[in-house]
Amino acid sequence: MSAVHRKSIAELRAGLRAGEFSSAELARAFLDRIARFDPELNAYITVTEEQALGAARAADQRIAAGTAGALEGVPLAHKDIFCTLGVKTSCASRMLANFIAPYDATVVQNLARAGAVMLGKTNMDEFAMGSSNETSWYGPVRNPWKLSAVPGGSSGGSAAAVAARLAPAATGTDTGGSIRQPAALCGVSGIKPTYGAVSRYGMIAFASSLDQAGPIAASAEDLAWLLAAMQGFDARDSTSLDRPVPDYPALLQSAGDLKGLRIGLPREYFGAGLDGAVGAAVHEAIKVWERLGAKLVDISLPNSDLAVPAYYVVAPAECSSNLARFDGVRFGYRCEQPRDLMDLYKRSRGEGFGAEVKRRIMIGTYVLSSGYYDAYYIKAQKLRRLISDDFARAFKEVDVIAGPTAPETAFSLGAKAQDPLTMYLSDIYTIAANLAGLPAMSIPCGFAGDLPVGVQLIGNYFDEARLLGVAHRYQQETDWHRRLPEAFA
């Protein structure tokens, strides 16, 4: 049972099947780590100890009976944006601090069906709005590599939990970078699939045309196992894609040769604003792929600088509509002793939402208001098309696009909390993939000082298997993904 927290998903699967350890022992080991380390990290909002041990015992029985699912007995954590039957689902907001979900999100259901064991729900930015995990009603998460630094956001709890191995893997969501950016800042791997690949049913909506769920784990191989279980058509999500789910773990094995793979390097991703040491680590990673036979191609994504402005019109617009349902009437927070209906609405929303969420709702309401709709919202949708066209053109010349995930490493807690515009630039390299609906991932590729750096890979629609393969080949040559922060080793 020694050091199960250092094992990959494949090793956990093998160990469980070989009887080296039981799922109950595994769950216990991770629950013990959570009890020991989470007080300093704050990565979890809820730990579902009893439920985890019960699910683990059931998994052990299925393993013994020979009816094990693909992830049978493997523990994991869910971002607190996914509805979980009978378990608090807060979205890190005071608004939902009392909300017990009456059903499981499809992602939760799919992973449970594969046999995975939920350890708990992870901390995040309130309603997934943020890049630092500081907007959580439950307080900030700390970066396991440096406790005074942020883990990134919005899936910061999931990324920190995996980085400190308080879970072997966790789910996340990515509307503008919220899987990839925290993965980069915490030195772990994460993938945002093609829009529509993973069901959004039961995933609390932020910006529906951008939101996409995906896994965060130590390696691309681990991600392959998770994504294969998460993905799939769901009639309950109107944008779900009805396509067969590729056997990602099997496809990884054939990823071997990168000869002839064309990797595009967008010049706009390596310019001003990129930290020098981060850029250097990313270039080293690209050299590894070149050594493995890939061909590097300079490309241009000329509308890159429009991604952040377009996103900060579209995302708030959609959020202002999605968050209208939190009115103090049907569920969630309700103010004390409302005078009348208007007072109930105003105070419930005023007291239930935090500052960043309110800012987004106000911007969104403004850009959708008659008279401004064409000037802002329609304009942003047009920019979105230009950004998609940039990628379509690039993917005629290259197979994948590589660049930095984030412009810098993890910044100090509080450094940007009062400066939303600077905070918004944290996603300057990630947002375009959401606007276009493309799959993209981040894997660790070294350090700048003491802090991890992530390299981003963006693929064409439905090219997740190729992205995972390219990342996996890199991780066979390097060991950045195996490094653990000393205090959590």
Distance of CA 443 to the CA centre of its chain: 12
From 178, 199, 348, 442, active-site residue:
178
Least distance between ligand GLN and beta carbon 40 (Å): 24
From 8, 22, 23, 79, active-site residue:
79
Spatial separation of the C-alpha atoms in residues 16 and 56, rounded to whole Å:
11
Cβ burial, residue 340 (10 Å; 0-12/13-18/19+): exposed
From 8, 22, 23, 154, active-site residue:
154
Give 211 or 399: the residue with its C-beta nearer to ligand GLN.
Answer: 211
Least distance between ligand GLN and beta carbon 421 (Å): 12
Task: Write the CB contacts of 295 (distance below 8 Å, at least 6 apart in sequence).
Answer: 260, 261, 262, 263
| DSSP E strand stretches across 48-157 | 75-79, 117-122
Cβ burial, residue 469 (10 Å; 0-12/13-18/19+): buried
Spatial separation of the C-alpha atoms in residues 191 and 214, rounded to whole Å:
6
Spatial separation of the C-alpha atoms in residues 83 and 79, rounded to whole Å:
9
Give 264 or 354: the residue with its C-beta nearer to ligand GLN.
Answer: 354
Least distance between ligand GLN and beta carbon 124 (Å): 8
Give 111 or 150: the residue with its C-beta nearer to ligand GLN.
Answer: 150
Lookup: tokens for 14: 């093998």
Spatial separation of the C-alpha atoms in residues 143 and 145, rounded to whole Å:
5
Give 132 or 231: the residue with its C-beta nearer to ligand GLN.
Answer: 132
Spatial separation of the C-alpha atoms in residues 41 and 483, rounded to whole Å:
18
| Bond into 131 cis (ω within 30) | no
Give 22 or 89: the residue with its C-beta nearer to ligand GLN.
Answer: 89
Cβ burial, residue 305 (10 Å; 0-12/13-18/19+): exposed
Give residue 291's identity as a one-letter amino acid code.
R
Least distance between ligand GLN and beta carbon 71 (Å): 25
Q: Which helix (H) or strand (E) holds 254?
A: none
Least distance between ligand GLN and beta carbon 312 (Å): 8
* Binding interface with ligand GLN (CB under 6 A): 128-131, 154, 174-178, 206, 315, 427
Least distance between ligand GLN and beta carbon 440 (Å): 11
Least distance between ligand GLN and beta carbon 52 (Å): 26
Task: Write the CB contacts of 489 (distance below 8 Å, at least 6 apart in sequence).
Answer: none
Least distance between ligand GLN and beta carbon 315 (Å): 5
Task: Write the CB contacts of 264 (distance below 8 Å, at least 6 apart in sequence).
Answer: 297, 298, 299, 394, 397, 398, 400, 401, 402
Q: Is 178 noted as a catalytic residue in this protein?
A: yes
Q: Which residue is nearest to ligand GLN (CB)?
A: 178
Give 206 or 474: the residue with its C-beta nearer to ligand GLN.
Answer: 206
Radius of gyration of the chain, Cα coordinates, nearest whole angstrom: 21
Give 176 or 485: the residue with its C-beta nearer to ligand GLN.
Answer: 176
Spatial separation of the C-alpha atoms in residues 290 and 379, rounded to whole Å:
39
The DSSP code sequence of 331-394 is SS---SS-SSHHHHHHHHHHHHS-HHHHHHHHHHHHHHSTTTIIIIIIHHHHHHHHHHHHHHHH
Least distance between ligand GLN and beta carbon 159 (Å): 12
Q: In what order do the strands lie in the sheet with 75-79?
A: 44-47, 117-122, 75-79, 169-173, 213-217, 189-192, 440-448, 451-459, 400-404, 262-266, 295-299
Give 21 or 429: the residue with its C-beta nearer to ligand GLN.
Answer: 429
Give 265 or 435: the residue with its C-beta nearer to ligand GLN.
Answer: 435
Cβ burial, residue 413 (10 Å; 0-12/13-18/19+): buried
Residues with a known catalytic role: 79, 154, 178
